[in-house]
Structure 1
Amino acid sequence: MATRTRQAFSLAGLAASVVRRTVARPFPELDLEGRLASLPQAAHTLKEPIDIRWNAQHVPMVQAKSMRDAAVGLGMVHGHLRLAQMEVMRRAAFGIVSEVAGKAALELDQLLRLLDFPRATEASLAMMPAETRDWIDGFAEGITTIAFETPPPPEFEIFGIRPSPFIAEDLFAISRLCSADYSWKVWRTLNALRQEDDWAEMWADLIGVAAVADEDIPYGAEQLDEMLPTAFTRGSNCYAVDGTRTATGKPMLACDPHLMIATPQPWLIAGFEVPDLTVWGLMVPALPIFGAGRNGHGAWGGTNLHATSSELVNVADEDVETEEIIIPLRGKRRVKRKHRQSTLGPIISDAKPFRMPAETVALHWLGHRPSDEYTPFLDLMRAENWDQFESAVDGYALPGLNMLWAGNEGGIGKMIGAHVPRRPLATPKDMVVSRKVAEDHWRDLVTGRDLPKVVNPACGFISSANEEPKDPEVTISLFFSAPTRVERIAALIGDRQDLTLQDFRTFHADVYLAPAHTLASALAVVARDVRPDARVTAALADWDGRYEASSAGALAFELVAKPLIDSLDFVSEKRRATPYWRPFARLTNLTDHATPEELATALAKAIDSAEPLLERHRTWGRIHRLRLAHPLTKLPWVGSRLPTIDLPTGGSNDTLMKSMHPFTQKVHGTNFAANARFLADLSDPDETYACLLGGQDGWPGSRTMFDMVGPWRRSDYVRLPMTAAGLDADFAHVTRIETGAPDA
């Protein structure tokens, strides 16, 4: 409570500062032409002029004569669309958020400094080939051109931020921020349980065959210091079919990443064209790589592997060093703090969010070692076949990814992109290991070539949804997602041999959840005995298992779930570990282990609780909401001048169209979900499509900040053509950037 009070006073002071700067300045509404007018007419870092073509949704295609100039153009695109967002990411990567936000972000900065995302920067940049470094430097120079040669975004004036150059070191630190280990989320949840008497029993449950993890519910704004370091860890679905499964006889690929719901978007759509290469795809702001994309030879995408690229190591018996850090606060003040470091990594038990106050535990993380993730993605952009794709992915270290390929020649394949410690296939006794065990594990790292892969399977399709790899030689992770989504993909593809992109659009929007449907049907049988006349009983019995926004059955199931869990938890003889970090597993475990009498009694109470709420809300979308708003809407006297979106939405925790939520009877917003879509039909160079849950632009007042919300809900995508005719048809706005100084 004391922390929240301090944050409230600090935010109040920040709000007062904001009001003084902005109370009389409304945000002007800007259309596409108005936004493009701010771009500079020249850039001194270009060797030759470039064209940036734009479609009506503010999606750019950079046309250049060299890779270096293409990188500059892409950097300008990122800066134009997302400069304020990238500034926040840079400050988070270096732990200097407090310089803008004041004391409200002090604990966050302490954690970020301890995690030390930039630690391996110098060594990593030194190992990159000259071509890769040239690409990164060009991209950074493009961002810098926008920062200094165009009007600053409104957030800069509001918070007193001065433009500063972006350099390769900044981009690398941001990439490490985006590489935060998935297992940190799980550890934060489980560490609080390690002091319990029955911890050993719970841990054994967790690492059993059925104890696989799902993405935990992200923390609210009041726990920003706990949430941000893993805000970029992701879920996702990705699948590809070969030509035997499609109507055209050519492969297709679909990808939909799952990340935090945020405005501006965590993704942007972009492309570039040089004489021998054209690429379209999804990019993370500030990173010059395409996470999902297509070139003239094939398409790729991926999902988070949930690989454990970290180790918690007990260093209680070792000498550790203490270093003093200085954190700048808003108002030219500085705060001194102390961090402890071991030879294996920072003493993470000193960080409050990791909840290990009684121990001395170091975080041993692959991200603190030098590695080059940019070169593999540059090679991936130029891959012409599976062999080149495999070679590129093999050099990629972290964060661990399942990477999929579909080639024009007809081949498809899936492999792991990760370097992981050689952990034996054995059950660990605890989450924290000794130094000797850690050193044994990390003496030799396994790369993608040595990990499970699938190439041109007889079934004609490949898929990934954060599932556990089959038959690995080493322990990759203990916390994979349940197979629900990957099984749903297989069911939708079935034995089809006439698949089209329209089918893939339908798959992206699929909201059927088989485990929920099965459980709801079983509960309906019991409900007929205990509450035969209830509306909830009828809704459960009639439900088709689809979490449509208009579904009464989905609402009934969710309204029953929360009180049912509470009642069965109370009577359960065994406390189960999975409930703390996998909500649906908690419900199924409790119902499976309850006696018929316990279940009947608990369900009757749950139906009584749910009945008036079902009458009031009627459909799932009335309580399950999609909320999009720029962060400035949280500030008094500023937010009222910006639009917000609050819409009913379908989906649930493990539907293909993921939209996560806690079990609750209250109106709530989903804050972790499928938020970008990408499709590629290799039968036609113009048949590539993408869509964002929101829009391209991050500028307050821009009409292209939310203009894709409607198309998203209709499964209507933006076409990303590769031919000259396609570009002429869809990308009519052209910005010419000459060489030389902007005012020349």
Structure 2
Amino acid sequence: MPAAAVLDVGLAGGAGVARRIRWGRGAALLLAALAMLPGCAALAPRPTGIDQRLAALPKDGLALHRPVSIRWNDHLVPWIEAESDADLAFALGLVHGHLRGAQVALLRMVARGRLSEIAGPLARDIDHALRILDFGRAAPKIERRWPPETRAFVERFAAGLNHAVLHGPRPREFGLLGLRPEPFTTADILAIGRLAGTDINWLSYFSLLAERGTPGFARRWGRMLEAGAGTAVPGGGEQAALGALLQGLSRSGSNAVAIAPSRSASGAAMLASDPHLGMSLPNLWMLAGMRSPSFHLVGLMVPGLPIIGLGRNRDVAWGGTNLRAASSDLFDVSRLPPEAFSETEVTIRQRLWFSATRRLRVTPQGPVVTDSPVVPGRPGEAIALRWAGQEPADEITALLRAARARSGAEFRDSFSGFAVSPQNMLWAARDGSIGRVTAAVLPARAGFPQEDPVLDARDPAATGPWQRLRDARDLPRLENPPEGVLASANENPTLWTKDPPPIGTFFSDGDRVARLRAMALAKPRLTPADLAAMQADTVAPKAAALAAGLLARLEALPGGAPDPALLAPLRGWDGDYAEASRAALVFELLLARLVPALEVESGSRGPETGWNFLTTFLLRDLDALPPARREAVLREAVAAVAPAAARYRNWGEVHRLRAAHWLVNLPVLGRLFVLGSYPVGGSRETPMKSGHGLVTGPHEVSFGSMARQVSDMADPDANWFTLFGGQDGWLGSAAFADQVPLWRERRGIRMPLRPATVAAEFPRVTVLRP
């Protein structure tokens, strides 16, 4: 077989995004050589200072009504002051296009299924799957239903974005990727928003379709339901690439904590939030402050979207975590009559190759996903996907209203039209109230299938729930709990509310939320520094329990535990994945040897490497083995761990955080885009999440805590934010990765609301004139 190279066609979603379409080395070298001709500036970008980047902001021919002032700090974070909401929206779009133009263009390529225009035939089948999913499907209905103020704001944002894209300097990545500037529509913006709202359950569902009805399927599905988690897509290939792409770009993780005044040192409510996404650069968030007649707030924005996802105005601070709700259902549409299908043909343009045509079919229960080879089903079976993101709900209006909220109640009520991705939204208000609202649109189900994830499209009991949709008004909420603490970390709703309606089946393990609550309740009064420390915490309580269980079984072997010196760090380990931890290293090396052996022994199908599976089944599967076999598995695991444990001293030596542009995954050229590699603490389910798989040696974190926010409602200026990376997406910019040291040192950038503080801490001024 020819040697393989790897092309990553992903974006800012991490080193694993759209991971790894394999192709021949000759093709990789040819594409690399062709890309170098127009892309040399990207390969060796000249250092560009903050003042140079500000000078390059396009300022001529601006469609403004009045002058707009943009103040900048030393990290190239903008604070925009405008006399009208329309001019604010235009300036925001201009800033997004200038700082993150390449990133926004690539987000659109994914949302529109146009990756083949970058990667050629390598991405053709992925594009076909993306066209079937059709993230822009609901855009026409949404636009028709927009309130006038939303329409005006989004149109003006798009106008500013287009001015930067069409009249500003061309991003250096464009030459490498064969891209040209092209204007954005409001429908493009909606498609990017729905891409960010991807249902993370798809990845598990799609991996199962071809196996339904095969020996062992019922057992595997039962284990998934019991663990409360899906399994990873096995192996590589295009299905894994699609899964990694969607997971890296969707808001699939996060922590959030709200603290009542009774537990706050300042006597005011506080909020901390840290989203979890892919860890490559540029970050999938950017920082901004803004003031206009209707808006006065600071926070984090997704590039290309005109809304603050996490932030704070004078009266309310908010953050959120992915609800992990099942906002989709799969339907077998094989037996529907032919007239139930509408069919179209799309053209997929391919870089350096001929265009291809593909078929798209849509039924009343959604598009037929198994028409794509990336989502294979059983022979002769057609499976459709019904998703809340295909409904004309309106996340932009919801978040624009939330940004203007003057109380917790107003903030809560803003989410009646919010659909995807389903969120636990936590808030802390200046009046002292704290709360959480379930922001989602979900079918009014009576329950979930226990035998098979695919429903019958002919069954009214299966399709009926989609005729009556629940939203934030009908879903659980909680306000002002007696203990004064609210915490969320993608947990099962049953952990915080009694008898919730059917929301989902796959949730986070609960380790993070338990740890966050324990830390929040451990002190009578908390400060912003305490909240920042919680975000950097590296303890997984269930890791300590699992390690103790393994150690007990090893010590119970005839003659005692093998290699006592190797296992000694596990005795009394508290589950702390600190960089210097020897116990974390030994524990993870041991898991990596036990899990594959137990998969074979337990009859499980596919990689059950998620934390839910480990905490639910690892010890149980060990105990189910015949004693002789259990002894052999344990002894073999310890013997296999010994060489690696002798080679490395601690967790940080093998657990690495790489700062790199997403172009790091280009063949041949990728090494040019690595900025540094650092030891890092944390693990899969620590509050400072730093995701990884099974560990046999050095590896890189691909997913985790990549942005942070802390706000104290006692002071309008008491807001701190940090990005892993930097604010600017321009290759070579001084602000491309300048926040990495802040992130590593647990420091934040203050984002004030008082005009005098803004003037003092954002000293550079750009005046935009009509």
TM range (shorter): over 0.9
Give the match for residue 221 of structure 2: 203
Kept after mapping to 2: 8 A contact 1:258/1:674: yes
Match of 1:537 among 561, 567, 572: 567
> How far, CA to CA, are the matches of 2:673 and 2:218 in structure 1?
51
- Contact 2:393–2:417 at 8 Å: present in 1 too? no
Q: Residues of 1 paired with 2:447 and 2:242: CA distance?
A: 34
Query: CA deviation digits over 1:309-358, x for unaligned, max 9?
Result: 11111111122344221111124731112223323221112223333142
Which sits farther off after the overlay, 315-324 or 393-402?
315-324
SS in 1 for 2:299: strand
Structure 1 alignment gaps of length 5 or more:
740-744
C-alpha spacing 1:332/1:364, structure 2 compared with 1 (3 Å): same
Residue in 1 that maps onto 2:229: 213
CA contact (8 A) 2:444 2:468 kept: yes
Unaligned runs of 5+ in 2: 3-19
Divergent runs of 4+, >6 A: 217-222
Structure 1 stretch displaced more, 332-341 or 675-684: 332-341
CA contact (8 A) 1:51 1:735 kept: yes
Once the 2 structures are TM-superposed, how far is the Cα of residue 393 of structure 1 from its aligned partner? 1.4
Deviation of the 1:162 alpha carbon: 1.9
Match of 2:355 in 1: 334
Q: Compared with structure 1, are the counterparts of its residues 221 and 235 closer, same or farther at alpha carbon in structure 2 (3 Å cutoff)? A: farther
Within a 5 Å distance, the mapping from 1:515-554 to structure 2 comes to: 515-528=542-555, 530-531=560-561, 533-541=563-571, 543-554=573-584
TM-superposed deviation, 1:434: 1.1
| Root-mean-square deviation (Å) | 2.4
Residue in 1 that maps onto 2:527: 500
Pair 1:221–1:33, CA change in 2 (3 A): farther
- In structure 2, the partner of 1:131 is 149
Deviation string for 1:700-738 (max 9, x for gaps)?
Answer: 111211111111111000100111232122111111111
The 3 A distance-change label for structure 1 pair 427 and 173 is closer
Call closer, same or farther: CA 1:386–1:205 in 2, change over 3 Å: same
Aligned equivalents of 2:100, 2:255: Cα separation in 1: 25
Structure 2 distance, partners of 1:160, 1:628, is 25
Aligned: 1:684 with 2:715: yes
1:284 aligns with 2:313: no
In the TM superposition, what is the alpha-carbon distance from 1:35 to its structure 2 partner?
1.2
Residues in 1 aligned to 2:107 and 2:246: alpha-carbon distance in whole angstroms: 11
| Structure 2 counterpart of 1:414, from 436, 452, 457 | 436
| Deviation at residue 638 of structure 1 after TM alignment | 4.8
Normalising by structure 1, we get a TM-score of 0.94
Is 1:59 aligned to residue 59 of structure 2?
no
Shift of 1:165: 1.4
Contact 1:19–1:638 (8 Å) recurs in 2: no
Q: Which amino acid aligns with 1:362?
A: A
CA displacement, residues 227-262 of structure 1 (integer Å, 9 cap, x when unaligned): 323432311110101100011110100001011222
Taking a change above 3 Å as real, the CA distance of residues 131 and 220 of structure 1, as seen in their structure-2 partners, is farther
Q: CA deviation at 1:115?
A: 0.9
Structure 1 residues 605-632: Cα deviation after superposition (integer angstroms, max 9, x where no partner): 2111111211111111111111221133
What is the aligned partner in structure 1 of residue 138 from structure 2? 120
Structure 2 letter corresponding to 1:225: L
Once the two structures are TM-superposed, the CA of residue 592 in structure 1 deviates from its matched residue by: 5.1
Residue of structure 1 equivalent to 2:498: 471
Identity of aligned residues (%): 36
C-alpha distance after superposition, 1:569-616 (max 9, x if no partner): 3444x5478926555245344245446654443222211111121111
Q: Distance in 2 between matches of 1:640 and 1:480?
A: 36
Alignment equivalent of 2:344, drawn from 316, 323, 339 = 323
Map of 1:224-373 to 2, 5 A cutoff?
224-233=241-250, 234-275=252-293, 277-318=295-336, 319=338, 320-331=341-352, 333-358=354-379, 359-373=381-395
Measured in 2, the distance between the counterparts of 1:682 and 1:578 equals 45
Structure 1 residue 180, shift from structure 2 partner: 1.2
Q: Deviations over 1:436-456 (max 9, x none)?
A: 233211110111121111111
Q: Which whole-Å deviations, capped at 9, do the CAs of 1:114-138 have from their partners, x for residues lacking one?
A: 1111111111111001100111011
The residue that corresponds to 1:153 in the other structure is 171
How many corresponding residue pairs? 736
| 1:43 to 1:531, Cα distance in 2 relative to 1, 3 A | farther
Find the counterpart in structure 1 of residue 48 from structure 2: 30
1:674-712 residue CA offsets vs partner (Å, 9 max, x unmatched): 111011001111100101111111111112111111111
Q: Return the offset for 1:188.
A: 2.5
Query: 1:726 & 1:510 partners in 2: Cα distance?
Result: 31
- Which residue of 644, 654, 678 maps to 1:613? 644
Q: In the alignment, which residue of structure 1 is the partner of 2:13?
A: none
TM-score by length of 2: 0.91
Residues 162, 23 of structure 1: alpha-carbon distance in 2 compared, 3 angstrom cutoff:
closer
Shift of 1:218: 10
Deviation at 1:215? 8.6
Please state if 1:587 is matched with 2:614.
no
Equivalent pair of 1:105/1:225 in contact (CA under 8 Å)? no
1:102 to 2:120 alignment? yes
CA distance in 2, matches of 1:567, 1:641: 39
Match of 1:672 in 2: 703
Q: Which residue of 2 aligns with 1:186?
A: 204
Secondary structure of the 2:56 match is: coil
Match of 2:655 in 1: 624
- The answer to whether residue 393 in structure 2 is matched with residue 376 in structure 1 is no
Alignment correspondent of 2:764: 733
Question: 1:632-662: per-residue Cα shift (whole Å, max 9, x none)?
Answer: 3344675455442211111111111111111
Q: Give 1:157 shift.
A: 2.7
Cα distance in 2, alignment partners of residues 655 and 667 from structure 1: 19
Structure 2 distance, partners of 1:715, 1:220, is: 35
Q: Give the equivalent residue in structure 1 for 2:509.
A: 482
